[in-house]
Structure 1
Amino acid sequence: MPADPPRSAHDWLDQDAGPVVRPYAMTQGRVAPEGGEFDLVAFVVAIAGEDAEDAGLQPEHHAIVAASWEPVSVVELASALDLSIGVVRVLLGDLRSAGLISLYEPPAASQPHDVDVLKAVVNGLRAL
């Protein structure tokens, strides 16, 4: 009878990927950011100094603050940190509530689209 293969000390540790943490564990099950939604092309800028150390934040929060000392879009931030957009949005909501970041949305994202322009585009596409 063959012996059982040796098991690692931690079953949750994947040798190739490192520790595996589910996205909902990082956000404590939350799926929407505090303070409302924001656009994916909104720029994130860190405004915190030493306050980030005392806030009792998760490592992902600290990584976001460290990566956003210069303006960076939400999408670029998610890509740079290798986190999903949903997780980054929730974590950004936490940081915004704590006053550690500022979000700047482009004017086009916050204003409704001009219906006349959209109709002209549709008519132009139909004419093709």
Structure 2
Amino acid sequence: MTQWMDEEAGPIVRPYALIGGRTRSSGDALDLIAMVTATGAVASGGFVPGPEQERILSLVTTATSVADVASELDLPLGVVRVLLGDLQDHQLISIGRASASERILKEVINGLRAL
């Protein structure tokens, strides 16, 4: 995203402009630990992924969490959810649930209880 930054002024394109000012999409329900994976499909129906969406597609060649995508893009979670929602609507990504073993979850709970 360096082409969108000016050292003195900050971001040249504000995050909400990247998503056309939208605040809602089908990606709203994505939680932080949902795993995103590129499907390898080609965009159809006249949809052309923007530069940020192209970057997302290159990041999620292997399963990556929504939180990691937002962190890597250095964009607010709400913006990333809209971008992901658009990609999901055009079947360019698939969304899966993160799997945590029962043992790991019990260790986390026990650790929290110990606090």
Report the TM-score, using the length of structure 2 for normalisation: 0.71
Choose from 22, 37, 46 the match for 1:45.
37
Residue 23 of structure 1 and its aligned partner are, at CA, apart by 1.2
Matched letter for residue 88 of structure 2: R
**Counterpart position of 2:53:** 61
Please say if residues 48 and 99 of structure 1, whose CA atoms lie closer than 8 Å, have aligned partners that are also in contact. Answer: no
**Counterpart position of 1:22:** 14
Please say if residues 38 and 105 of structure 1, whose CA atoms lie closer than 8 Å, have aligned partners that are also in contact. Answer: no
Distance 1:105 1:17 in 2: 39
For residues 19 and 99 of structure 1, do their structure 2 counterparts lie closer, same or farther at Cα, with a shift above 3 Å needed? Answer: same
CA RMSD, Structure 1 to Structure 2 (Å): 2.9
Choose from 49, 61, 70 the match for 1:78.
70
For residues 73 and 90 of structure 1, do their structure 2 counterparts lie closer, same or farther at Cα, with a shift above 3 Å needed? Answer: same
**Counterpart position of 1:5:** none
User: Is there any run of 5+ residues in structure 1 with no aligned partner, and where?
Assistant: 1-11, 109-123
Distance 1:13 1:36 in 2: 27
Residue 105 of structure 1 and its aligned partner are, at CA, apart by 2.1
Report the TM-score, using the length of structure 1 for normalisation: 0.64
For residues 36 and 13 of structure 1, do their structure 2 counterparts lie closer, same or farther at Cα, with a shift above 3 Å needed? Answer: closer
For residues 75 and 97 of structure 1, do their structure 2 counterparts lie closer, same or farther at Cα, with a shift above 3 Å needed? Answer: same
Matched letter for residue 24 of structure 1: Y
Task: Trace 1:98-117 onto structure 2 (pairs within 5 A).
Answer: 98-106=90-98
Q: 1:44 aligns to what SS in structure 2?
A: strand
- Name the % identity: 44
